[in-house]
Amino acid sequence: MSLIEVRHLCKEFKIAKRQEGLTGALRSLFHRQYTTKIAVNDISFSIGTGEMVGYIGPNGAGKSTTIKMLTGILVPSSGEIRVNGLIPYKERRRNARQIGVVFGQRTQLWWDLPTIESFELLKQIFQIPPDRYRQNMALFNEILDLDEFLQTPVRQLSLGQRMRADIAAALLHDPKILFLDEPTIGLDVVAKERMRSFIREINKNRGVTVILTTHDMSDIEKLCQRMILIDKGQVMYDGELTKIKETFGKTRILIVDFEENIDDFSLDGVEVIKQEGNRRWLKFNREVHTASQLISQISEKYEIKDISIQDPEIEVLIRNIYEHNYTLDQVFTDKTRI
Binding residues (CB under 8 A) for another protein: these are: 13, 64, 68, 71-75, 89, 92-94, 96-97, 99, 101, 103, 105-106, 108, 110, 112-113, 117, 120-121, 124-127, 153
Q: How far is the CB of 73 from another protein (least distance, A)?
A: 5
Distance of CA 213 to the CA centre of its chain: 3
Q: How far is the CB of 123 from another protein (least distance, A)?
A: 9
Give Cβ neighbours of residue 329 (< 8 Å, ≥ 6 apart).
Answer: 335
Q: How far is the CB of 296 from another protein (least distance, A)?
A: 51
- CB closer to another protein out of 96 and 143: 96
Give Cβ neighbours of residue 38 (< 8 Å, ≥ 6 apart).
Answer: 10, 11, 12, 233
Residue 228 and residue 248: Cα distance in Å, rounded? 15
Residue 187 and residue 150: Cα distance in Å, rounded? 20
Q: How far is the CB of 266 from another protein (least distance, A)?
A: 45
Q: What is the largest CA-CA distance in the chain?
A: 76
- CB closer to another protein out of 111 and 303: 111
Q: How far is the CB of 172 from another protein (least distance, A)?
A: 13
| 130-144 helix and 159-171 helix, angle to the nearest 10 degrees | 150
Residue 2 and residue 43: Cα distance in Å, rounded? 16
Q: How many Cα atoms within 13 Å fall on the side-chain side of residue 50? A: 4
Q: How far is the CB of 295 from another protein (least distance, A)?
A: 47
Handedness of CA 184, 188, 194, 197 (dihedral sign): positive
- CB closer to another protein out of 163 and 244: 163
- CB closer to another protein out of 60 and 269: 60
Q: Edge-to-edge, what's the strand order for the sheet holding 271-276?
A: 271-276, 279-285, 251-258, 304-310
- CB closer to another protein out of 41 and 213: 213
Q: How far is the CB of 179 from another protein (least distance, A)?
A: 9
Q: How far is the CB of 124 from another protein (least distance, A)?
A: 4
- CB closer to another protein out of 135 and 156: 156
- CB closer to another protein out of 131 and 263: 131
- CB closer to another protein out of 71 and 209: 71
Single-letter amino acid code for the residue at 25: A
The residues facing 15 across adjacent strands are 35
Q: Is 289 exposed, middle or buried (0-12, 13-18, 19+ CB in 10 A)?
A: middle
Single-letter amino acid code for the residue at 171: L
Residue 55 and residue 227: Cα distance in Å, rounded? 6
- CB closer to another protein out of 65 and 251: 65
Q: What is the 3-state secondary structure (H, E, C) of 224-240?
A: CCEEEEEECCEEEEEEE
Q: How far is the CB of 121 from another protein (least distance, A)?
A: 6
